[in-house]
Each structure stands twice: as C-alpha cells, then as structure tokens.
A and B are shown apart, each in its own frame.
Chain A
Amino acid sequence: MSKILEVKGLTHTYGGNTPFVNDAVKNVSFDIENGEIIGIIGHTGSGKSTLVQHLNGLLKPTDGNILLEGKDIWDEPKKIREVRSKVGLVFQYPEYQLFEETVYKDIAFGPKNMGLDGDEIDKRVKEIIGLVGIKEEYLERSPFDLSGGEKRRVAIAGVMAMRPKIIVFDEPVAGLDPRGRNDIVKIIKDYRDTYNATVLIISHNMEDMALLADKLVVMNKGNLEMFDTTENVFSNAGKLKSIGLNVPMITEVFFELKKMGLKVPDNILTVESAVDYLLSLKKGGVLNA
C-alpha cells in the first residue's frame, strides 16, 4: 500500500482579522493509504466539514499542507481543477444539487467539465449507472421525477463518473431508511473495489462506521483527537464519551456489562461479533464477575 493522501499540520482560520476569528481546524496531521475507507467523526462544529473541504482545494489552508500522491495540491494553483477531478466531494443531501434536464446530462456534467470526449463520457455514464443501480431507461428522464433514494444515487453517480481516486462523502446515508442505507453502503464499497479508490466518510452514525470504516479520524473542537483503527477507537469508549461522542449501541451494551462487573472484551463493534462471542460463552465458557 502507498500513501495517497497526507494532511500535514493543517490549520484553517475563518474570519482572520475580524472579531469573529475562529480556528476551525488546528494543526491536524494524518496519512491515508490507498484503498482505505476512513471514517471522520466528531460533533457538529468540530471541524469535519472544514477539514474535508481542504482535500480537493475548495478551501486553502491557513497553515500546513495537503499532499496528494506525494505532491502538494497548492504547488501549482492553476492546476487545482485537476485535483478536483482526482478528489470527489459528495456533499450532504447531494440530491438537492441535481439541476440538469435529464439524468444523463446531470451525470455527464462532471466528465464534460473535465474536457473528456463524447464517447468517453457516454461510456462512463453507462458504466456508473450500473454501479449505482440506476436503470438505463431512466437516463432520459428528469432527475426531479425520481424517488428520493434514486435522486441521491444519481447525484453520487455524477461525482463517481469523474472517477476520482479519492471520494469523500458527507453523511451519505442521512435521512434514508435501512434499505436505502444498505444500497448506498454497497455502492461505496463497490466503487472502492472497482476503481481501487480511497474513501472518506463523515457520519454521526457509529453503527455504520463500525461496519464500513477501516480507520477513524476523531475530531474535537478543531483538533485531531484520535486517529486509529475503528476497533481501537471504539474500545476507547470512555474517551469518546468525554468529548460527547457515542460508540455503537452494541459496544455500549458491553460497556454496561463491564460496569456490572463482568469480564467482557472491549472490541465488540457489531451485532455479529456480539452474537458470536456470547454464544461461544454458552458452549462452556465463563462470564465471571
């Protein structure tokens, strides 16, 4: 594995030289390997969104650097558009950003702006709708006639059609029911596997993070509080709670069992592993106080 993205000493100050001056991100550093799925968690206002907007150059660091494939993205400011096609950003409720007359045109918008020729655009649109599960007959419909879940998939397809090496999602499953959520989770994983891409996901849903993320970036008041494997971060329930964050519900149950005086592991993150662990106890193990 190789480092695809390095965040080095990133600081961002909003409203410098005004009474509203505010350090939204303070001296944050971490590296991401190619192919990883990284979760970013933190309170509203902890700096998550400010952080990710630096990754494709929407914001310029007040201090520090963003290295993409070893190269500072601001070395040649005129080439920042290239960075934007390598690092795709899917905002929260991306379906609100659909604007074209047809689904086809909406998905083709990004690739077109990259200056690709018509055949390549056509190829990419058709390929990506397969991945996100949109039927070909929908391509000539207005995106506004689709259901909420379909609109979101079209909006995501529009970013994916640019084939970014890194794709960043801000709350990709917010407002969806379990079925819609599973669809999106599958799309994210399929994209990573098909294009050997790297994924960053901002979410408040710790249960989804436990299922999806290899590592977690934990933000608190603009600082990087933790950066570690998902398992290690969630084993540290006490620390997460002290900054007002939750662990997955299932981890919380085991935390409670521990408080009741039982010896149970810290690293139960999914229902699956909890069932396996408890059933293994039943076959002659002990759950001693």
Chain B
Amino acid sequence: MDNIIEVKNVTFEYSDFDRSKTVINDFSIDIKRGSFTCILGHNGSGKSTLAKLLNGLYKPVKGDILVDGMNTKDETTEIAIKRRVGMVFQNPDNQLVASIVEEDVAFGPENLGLSPDEIRKRVDESLKSVGMYELRKSTPHHLSGGQKQRIAIAGILAMRPQCIVLDEPTAMLDPKGRKEIISTIEKLNRESGITVVLITHFMEEAENTDRAVVLNDGSIIADGTPKEIFSNIDMLKRAGLDVPQTTELLHRLKTNGVDIKTNVISIKETAQEIYSAFHLEEN
C-alpha cells in the first residue's frame, strides 16, 4: 500500500493581532491508501485543525502536506486535492444546502460540471451506499441528525473522493445516530476501499479501525492498533480521552491483582474476560 496523505513536520499556529498559538507542532504522519485511521484527542488537542490541514483548507506554517503526491500549498493543484479528500464536519445542519435530499447530494457533482446522466447515477449510488436512497425525495430538516449526517456523507461520496476525513461526525448525534454513522463509514472503507480518517474523542469509535493515533497538544503521543492503544489506559487518561467503562473496569481489576486482559473494549469480550478470570478460579 502506498500513502494517500503524507504529513511532513507540519507546524500550524493561529494568530490574531498580538497573540499566536501553536496548535500543531512539528507533526508527521502517513496515511496509507485504503486504510481506516482514527485520530483521538480531547477538545483543543489540535485534531480539528489537523483535519482542515489534510485537504488544504488550512496551509501549514512550516512543513508540507502531500495528497497523492501534490503539495497542499501549491495553488495549481488545490482543486485536484479537494476532489481527492472530502470532509464531513460535526454539525449536520451546517452542511446541507438544498431543500430536497437528492438535490443536496447533487450539489457537488453539479459543480464538477458533469452531465445530468452522470450526476443522476452518482447521486443514486451515493444515497444507496449510505442507506438513504428511499428518502431521496424527503426534506432534510424533517430527518434525524444521523440521517442528515448520512446525507452529508453521500454528498461527499458523489464527488468520488479517494479519502474522507470526518471531524467528530457523531458528536451532535444521539446513540442511534452514532451507530448509523460508524457502521456507514466502516462499510465504505471495507466495501468501496475509500481511505477514512475519523477524528473523534469517543474511544469506542476506534474499535474496528486499523490504526489509532492519540493527539495531545498538537503532537502524537501514541500510535498503534486500537488494542495496543486501549491497553494503555494511563496514557489515554492523560490525553483527556473518554475511556469506556469496560476498559476501565478491566484495568481497575488488574491493578487490584486480578489476572485479566485489559485491551478489550466490547461488552461481550469484557464479559468473557471476567467470566474466565473469576469463574475458573472457583473450579
């Protein structure tokens, strides 16, 4: 696998008048084509800034970002980069532009200057892949947050990006909406081979990804498989992350001398760990 995105020693700072604040500090990361990467960090850790750097919405103050070999600082490739890397943001209401679902999804392809037949085809395909085809004639504001967010994703898909960056796409959704979005993204990555970068502070959402990267104060403090990351609970807490109750329970049992694995996160696996650690002891 080659890299779709390469971030090389990037520094980014916000400045207004007299103050400037470094939010990304000498940061490097490679995103492999077709991979599913989760970037975890608390509010203010620099993760949203990173998201906006990845498709050139922000330009690095120092260092370079290459998307498919093209530098985001190069103005001549700006459009090519934005077509390759699509973004989905937190608030579904801020991302919808039309009053009918399918028109909203068509907005991107229309701007690409495609033929009506091609637009029709892309809109239908995109809506089907997020499970919203049946509701294509509805009005977005009558739909739930999860449904609206899936339309936002369909709008990006219709542009046929190679990579989607999602910046806390579930933060404003209820539990049902969250599940819908996570399973939609997992499916897109698995079945369509789209590279996914998911930015979140919910650890549970990293469970089925290939790689979890933990961000703190604009730098990487951990990088590994989700299981490796989840077993390091002290680091996660230091990074101000949400540690699921399951992982927390196993960790607390272990520090109290129970011989038990701590790198699991799902409810079933946790119950099994407890079952074998406690049940076998009795027999």
- Residue of B at shortest CB range from A275? B252
Q: Say whether A75 faces chain B, with CB atoms less than 8 Å apart.
A: no
Contact A178 B279 (CB under 8 A): no
Q: What separation, in Å, do the CA atoms of A274 and B271 have in the docked complex? A: 12
Q: What separation, in Å, do the CA atoms of A93 and B90 have in the docked complex? A: 13
CB contact under 8 A between A278 and B274, given known A149-B43, A271-B248: yes
CB contact under 8 A between A179 and B267, given known A253-B246, A287-B279: no
CB contact under 8 A between A275 and B274, given known A44-B176, A249-B267: no
CB contact under 8 A between A249 and B174, given known A176-B43, A275-B256: no
Q: Say whether A252 faces chain B, with CB atoms less than 8 Å apart.
A: yes
Contact size range, A: 35 or more
Q: What separation, in Å, do the CA atoms of A248 and B274 have in the docked complex? A: 17
Interface stretch, picked from B59-67, B99-107, B186-194, B237-245, is B237-245
Q: What separation, in Å, do the CA atoms of A262 and B240 have in the docked complex? A: 35
Contact A271 B249 (CB under 8 A): yes
Residue of B42, B177, B246, B271 near A257 (CB, 8 A) is B271
Residue of A249, A278, A288 near B245 (CB, 8 A) is A249
Residue of B171, B177, B246, B272 near A250 (CB, 8 A) is B246
- Residue of B at shortest CB range from A279? B256
**Chain B proximity mask over A246-264: 1 for CB below 8 Å, otherwise 0:** 1011101100110010100
Q: Say whether B116 faces chain A, with CB atoms less than 8 Å apart.
A: no
Q: Say whether B77 faces chain A, with CB atoms less than 8 Å apart.
A: no
Contact B43 A282 (CB under 8 A): no
Contact size range, B: 35 or more
Instruction: Give the contacts of B267-282 with A (CB-CB under 8 A).
Output: 267-268, 270-272, 274-275, 278-279, 281-282
Residues of B with C-beta under 8 A to A178: 42, 240-243
Residues of B with C-beta under 8 A to A45: 144
CB contact under 8 A between A252 and B267, given known A147-B44, A176-B43: yes
- Residue of A at shortest CB range from B270? A253
Residues of B with C-beta under 8 A to A44: 144-145, 174, 176-177
Residue of A249, A281, A282 near B244 (CB, 8 A) is A249
Contact A256 B258 (CB under 8 A): no
- Residue of A at shortest CB range from B243? A178
Q: Say whether B201 faces chain A, with CB atoms less than 8 Å apart.
A: yes
Contact B42 A177 (CB under 8 A): yes
**Chain B proximity mask over A167-189: 1 for CB below 8 Å, otherwise 0:** 00000001111111000000000
CB contact under 8 A between A279 and B145, given known A177-B242, A179-B240, A207-B245: no
Q: What separation, in Å, do the CA atoms of A207 and B201 have in the docked complex? A: 16
Q: What separation, in Å, do the CA atoms of A260 and B277 have in the docked complex? A: 14
**Chain A proximity mask over B228-265: 1 for CB below 8 Å, otherwise 0:** 00000000000011111110110011001010000000
Tally the A-B contacts, defined by beta carbons under 8 Å.
Answer: 94
CB contact under 8 A between A274 and B240, given known A204-B175, A257-B275, A287-B278: no
**Chain A proximity mask over B96-117: 1 for CB below 8 Å, otherwise 0:** 0000000000000000000000
Q: Say whether B172 faces chain A, with CB atoms less than 8 Å apart.
A: yes
Q: What separation, in Å, do the CA atoms of A274 and B241 have in the docked complex? A: 21
Q: Say whether A148 faces chain B, with CB atoms less than 8 Å apart.
A: yes
Residues of B with C-beta under 8 A to A262: 275, 279
Q: What separation, in Å, do the CA atoms of A169 and B66 have in the docked complex? A: 45
Contact B253 A279 (CB under 8 A): yes
Closest-CB distance, B94 to chain A (whole angstroms): 12
Residues of B with C-beta under 8 A to A275: 249, 252-253, 256
Q: What separation, in Å, do the CA atoms of A252 and B168 have in the docked complex? A: 25
CB contact under 8 A between A286 and B242, given known A180-B43, A204-B174, A244-B176: no
Residue of A177, A179, A260, A289 near B271 (CB, 8 A) is A260
Q: Say whether A105 faces chain B, with CB atoms less than 8 Å apart.
A: no
Closest-CB distance, B221 to chain A (whole angstroms): 15
CB contact under 8 A between A253 and B175, given known A177-B43, A177-B201, A281-B278: no
**Chain B proximity mask over A111-124: 1 for CB below 8 Å, otherwise 0:** 00000000000000
Q: What separation, in Å, do the CA atoms of A174 and B170 have in the docked complex? A: 11
Closest-CB distance, A167 to chain B (whole angstroms): 22
Contact B270 A175 (CB under 8 A): no
**Chain A proximity mask over B158-186: 1 for CB below 8 Å, otherwise 0:** 00000000001001101111000000000
Please give the residue numbers on chain A whose beta carbons come within 8 Å of chain B beta carbons, in ascending order. Answer: 43-45, 147-149, 174-180, 204, 207, 244, 246, 248-250, 252-253, 256-257, 260, 262, 271, 274-275, 278-279, 281-282, 286-289
- Contact sample, A vs B, 20 pairs, CB 8 Å cutoff: A44-B174, A147-B43, A148-B44, A175-B90, A178-B241, A178-B243, A180-B43, A244-B176, A246-B175, A253-B245, A253-B246, A253-B271, A256-B271, A260-B272, A262-B279, A275-B249, A278-B278, A287-B279, A287-B282, A288-B282
| Leading 9 A-B pairs by shortest Cβ distance | A256-B271, A177-B42, A249-B245, A250-B245, A177-B43, A275-B252, A175-B171, A287-B278, A44-B174
